[in-house]
Amino acid sequence: MIVGVLGAAVFIGAIWFNEWTYFLIFLGLNLLGIAEFYRLLGAQNIKPNTVLGLALGFLLYTAVFLVQKDMLAVELLLLAVPVLFLAFILEMYRKKEHPFTNIAFTMLGVMYVAVPFALLHLLGFLKGEYSWQPILGLMLLLWASDTGAYIAGKNFGKHKLFQRISPGKTWEGWAGGVILTLAVGYGLSYYFKDLYLYQWLGMAVIISVFGVLGDLVESLLKRDLGVKDSGTLLPGHGGILDRFDSLLMAIPFIVAFLKIF
């Protein structure tokens, strides 16, 4: 409980204060999430190139932020492609077993964690300059989804949502999360004027669907690797991936929705 309250306070403060505190808080989550993902793979004797993956995650996250700040030419993002191919070259010198498996999971860590966090910048700079409203609104919608699902699932949950992967989730819990998320999205439209009502409600729907799918994907990952939690960094809450799995899955769909509509 204390960890959750303190974490929420730090998040809200960092997002609200300015773009650089926002940048730093999510940079930390980005790097910790990548490192945690690679550490989990050790359970299956997979040996991704952790140094390269962290470097790629840092560069991608930072480069997209600087492009949004007009401090870096967007064409320089094309360098990400040849840099990715360094994984093939460096693997020849690492002399590890199953080199292409290691390469694949090195890249997967960047795609699964760093790409969504990098795309988050497009949400923060949706109007051309940094605004905390879309990002903080996103976090509030995610928290509403989790809270609504927990309350409804605990009190009314009977029908399993996806028992093979996550036995604790129910359709009733999911419905409760949808209702509370839509309600919060409606309320946000009155106070956070950067987005229109239909955009807040669209974000709420996307989070309700893809947020829970992100949770299920991470549960599938843990089942595949034979672990209970992704980490122990957050006492009582598991690891970074445990807490932000919904966010990672929802961000690409939200950014696409807001950019198109």
Q: Which one-letter DSSP state was computed for residue 169?
A: E
In this prediction the pTM is 0.93
Lowest mean pLDDT among 62-71, 117-126, 198-207, 232-241: 232-241
| φ and ψ of 170, to 5 deg | -130, 160
- Percent of the chain at pLDDT exceeding 90: 71
pLDDT at position 232 is 63
CB 200 within 8 A of CB 257: no
How far is Cα 93 from Cα 50, in angstroms, rounded to an integer?
Answer: 14
pLDDT digits (tens, 9 = 90+) for 151-165: 999 999 888 988 888
H helices within 95-196, ranges in order? 99-109, 115-124, 132-156, 171-191
For residue 218, give the nearest of 61, 45, 36 by alpha carbon. Answer: 36
pLDDT digits (tens, 9 = 90+) for 69-96: 999 999 988 888 888 888 899 999 888 8
| φ and ψ of 169, to 5 deg | -85, 140
pLDDT at position 43 is 75
Tokens 């077993």 found at = 97
How far is Cα 107 from Cα 85, in angstroms, rounded to an integer?
Answer: 10
Burial of 76 per CB tally in 10 Å (0-12, 13-18, 19+): exposed
Q: What is the Cβ-side half-sphere exposure of residue 156, based on CA atoms within 13 angstroms? A: 11
pLDDT digits (tens, 9 = 90+) for 187-210: 999 999 999 999 999 999 999 999
